[in-house]
Amino acid sequence: MKRVSMELGGKSAAVVLPGADLARAVKATVASCFLNSGQTCSATTRLIVSRDDYPTCRALLADAVAGMPMGDPGDASTRIGPLLSALQRERVLAHIADAEQDGFDRIAGGPDAPVPERGYFVAPTIYGNVAPDSRLANEEVFGPVLAVLCYETVEDAIALANGTRYGLAASVWAADESCGEAVANALRAGQVDVNGARFNAAAPFGGFGMSGVGREGGAYGLEEFLEPRAIQFPR
């Protein structure tokens, strides 16, 4: 039999707890979501904020996207490049069309946003007040689209973060690091950063559910290639 180690897709969530640095959380989430035009397996494509913080969050998101020019990836000033293919662009636009039909709060982008004429571009797009059971909240878009979900209690936030079939990565933003750690421990994701901690290449990387099987990185990545044996003696 062949052994397999698979790193698959994700629908990673950023959970912003009450009292956390919202501006910093929004900046980091936008950077993660739109990196490589959203074509990243661990991209943070769901932002989970308290209902009370949503108006402020909305304004911060709109400002952040306004400063992300589209264009030639070879130009140092470009923040959003094209998608891989025409087919992928159509897939992403189909997700956007569904979000429009669902009537979510469009914060930025959308189907009619201007894009460069040459290249498979989709404008960076953000929808707020996204329903937890919607396609946009549950399926991997693999494009520059961010879904914002609102919660009433921290328990609700954890349930929303764990509410998809994926579990690759996540992030938690908290005013108190111990509270952030407690929520991180409750998330069903293979790698969780707290308050913007950097990616650790020596730590295990991999996911739960439909995000894959096995781990990469550090000692855990090496163990994927090993066959443990047990030898017992009568003493």
Q: Which active-site residues does the annotation give?
A: 7, 41
Calpha distance 217→200 (Å, rounded) = 9
Q: Which residues have a Cβ under 8 Å from the Cβ of 187 and sit 6 or more positions away?
A: 13, 15, 158, 161, 162, 170, 172
Instruction: Work out the burial of residue 65: count CB atoms within 10 Å of its CB; fewer than 13 is exposed, 13-18 middle, 19 or more buried.
Output: buried
Dihedral (Cα; 151, 35, 111, 166), 10-degree rounding:
-50
Q: Which of 151, 198, 154, 194 is nearest to 173 (CA)?
A: 194
Token pair of 195, please?
């308050």
C-alpha dist (Å) from residue 89 to 34, 45, 120, 141, 217: 15, 17, 6, 10, 32
What values do phi and psi take at 207, rounded to 5? -130, 175
